[in-house]
Amino acid sequence: MDNVIEFINVRKRLGPRQVLDGMDLRIRRGETMVIIGRSGIGKSVTLKHIVGLMRPDSGEVIVDGIDVGAANHATLLRLRSKMGVLFQSGALIHWLTVADNVALPLRELGGYTEKQIEAIVLEKLDLVDMRASAQLTPDKISGGMQKRAALARAIVRDPEIILYDEPTAGLDPVLANITTELITGIQKRLGVTSLVVTHDMQSAYVMADRIAMLHAGRVIQVGTPQEIRHSTDVAVRQFIEGRTVGLLTDDMEAAWRK
Amino acid sequence: MIIIRPEEQVGTIGRRILALVHGAGYNMLLLFRTVSYIGGIFLKSREVLRQMYITGVLSLPLTLLVALFTGMVLALQTGMELLRWGIEAEIGTIVTASMSREMGPIWTGIVLAARVGSGMAAELGTMKVSEEIDALEVMSIDPARYLVLPRLVALVLVAPILTVYSDLIGVIGGAIVGQYQIGVSYDLYFQKGMDALRVVDIYSGLVKSMVFATTIAIVGCGQGLRTTGGAEGVGNATRNTVVISLILIIVFNYFITSLTRWIT
């Protein structure tokens, strides 16, 4: 099967911590892969490797056939134009309105008339149900609305790959479900490859075609939501049941102590 | 008791020097990268105007206040001394020359470093911490073009204007002190002042202010873009910006003055 994103034996050290320690993962074209794992285990670091904001110490990160770690600036720019990223905090530019934020990639990279930009922006805002707030600045809207606006910005260039960093973190359960539905809806409509990083198991089960559990710098299990739900791996079991005592907590503490 | 071994001290010094060299190199590259985008500045005219308002118009009152009292204290201090020799009329010469050559540009630079440079570091640092800078990079938008260029251009345009105001107000401040505390009439003061004023001094002052503006904008933006680790990181970036900018302003000032003397 056609793999869009491949991690091959990736290692990355940040300060004293070995964050990724021989990570292997393959993400197929058109699927929604959800990476789960405890906070601080390197899920966001994984995303940063895919967009080239970080480069691996060793190993390879291959996106659409290109080795991101070895790519030059121009290649990286071309690769990034195929990707949309939803950051954890939304990361909207704080002095621009919602509409201007969504329009930003189109305006800055050129090639569109103002009329075209307006049409595209309204179309994307409709997708996330944010047309009514188009003229507000980020500080005037709620956290959930910021995430939706950021999602509209992430898909404004019709990316082939969308990366989500903790899309439901900090949202109340109802909003979290709405966001989950939004992501699955966009996935169905656009037919993109999605990679979601989360520790929200409920939304993971709903969104995922496959789930990968990250622990101690490696992927310890990959499987369908059904397989993960019935996993016999002790670490996976501890995570999905949220138990406080077990392998996960011991290893985490050991890693931080090192 | 903590015992610091000599090799650890050497290591610490080495790391400090490396950080210093790395920072200087980063700032030079940032400057070159930003200037390479200068062709697209007209597309950014709205943002440049917004920045000129923030950096220029809003800095004007503080700049004027500082300049006024600088001119006043210059006149008072030198006037008291010159009175003893009966040549107090020369305060017009001294204040005008000092303000246009040194005090005007330097104090404007200091005000801008404290008010604008720190602001740039805080704003870009907060953007870095809240992933806004990462978001720009992922959208293939170079922060040097989108954020640094308008700030740099705005400050380089605004600093000479502020400096001229600063020179003028400083000289006026000196005149007031001359009239009421030293006993030198306005007429005599300004006549001496005009005689002392040389075009080359005004130009060198303006060149200085542009160099200071470039320094402040690049140091402030560079510190902001390299911010790591939350609110504390933003605080560090802000403080470092003011400290580094002030040092560079004082040092560059000496060399530009030397260069001016050498040319004339």
Which member of B134, B136, B140 has the closest CB to residue A77? Answer: B140
* Predicted pLDDT at A14: 85
pLDDT at site A69: 86
pLDDT digits (tens, 9 = 90+) for B121-166: 999 999 999 889 999 999 988 899 999 999 999 999 999 999 999 9
Residues 129-158 of A with CB under 8 A from B: 150, 153
A17-28 vs A3-14, strand pairing mode: antiparallel
Q: Which residues on chain A are in Cβ contact (under 8 Å) with B132?
A: 91-94
Mean pLDDT for the stretch of residues B71-81? 94
- SS3 category, A20: strand
Chosen from A93, A124, A153 to mutate, greatest number of chain B CBs within 10 A: A93
Q: Is the pLDDT of residue B216 over 90?
A: yes
Instruction: Kindly determine whether residue B131 and residue A104, on different chains, have CB atoms separated by under 8 Å.
Output: no
Q: Which residues of A touch B141 (CB under 8 A)?
A: 104-105, 108-109
Percent of chain B with pLDDT over 90: 70
**What pLDDT score does B1 carry?**
57
Q: With the CA atoms of B164, B150, A55 and B240 taken in that order, what torsion angle do they form, in degrees rounded to the nearest 10?
A: 30
Cα of A232 to nearest chain B Cα, Å = 37
Give the gap in angstroms from C-alpha B130 to the nearest C-alpha of chain A.
Answer: 6
- Output the pTM of the full model: 0.86
Q: How far is B44 from chain A (nearest CA, A)?
A: 10
- 8 Å CB contact of B135 and A85: yes
More confident residue, B211 or B10: B211
Residue B47 has pLDDT above 60, yes or no: yes
Shortest Cα distance from A84 to chain B (angstroms)?
A: 8
Q: Which parts of chain A register pLDDT below 50? A: none
Alpha-helical regions (H) of B4-117:
6-36, 45-55, 60-85, 91-98, 104-112
* Interchain pair B138, A83: CB under 8 A: yes
Decide: helix, strand or coil at residue A99. Answer: helix
Q: How large is the average pLDDT for residues B14-32? A: 91
CA dist B29 and A162 (Å) reads: 32
Instruction: Lowest mean pLDDT of A37-41, A113-117, B1-5, B41-45, name the range.
Output: B1-5
Name the token pair of B259.
């260069």
Sheet holding A58-63, edge to edge: A17-28, A3-14, A58-63, A66-67
Q: What is residue B89's predicted lDDT score, i.e. its pLDDT?
A: 87
A-to-B residue pairs, Cβ atoms closer than 8 angstroms: 47
**Residue of chain A whose Cα is closest to the Cα of B143:** A108
ipTM given for this complex? 0.86
Tokens of A187: 């996935």
- The residue of B140, B145, B147, B228 whose CB has the most chain A CBs within 10 angstroms, and thus the best one to mutate to test that interface, is B140
Distance from the A160 Cα atom to the nearest Cα atom in chain B, whole angstroms: 14
User: In chain A, where do the E strands start and end?
Assistant: 3-14, 17-28, 32-36, 58-63, 66-67, 83-86, 161-165, 193-197, 210-215, 218-223
In the prediction, which pLDDT does B202 show?
85
Any residues with CB less than 8 A from the CB of B72 and at least 6 apart, and which? B173, B174, B176, B177
Q: At B61, is the pLDDT very low, low, confident or very high (cuts 50, 70, 90)?
A: very high
Closest CA to A4 of A227, A163, A156: A163
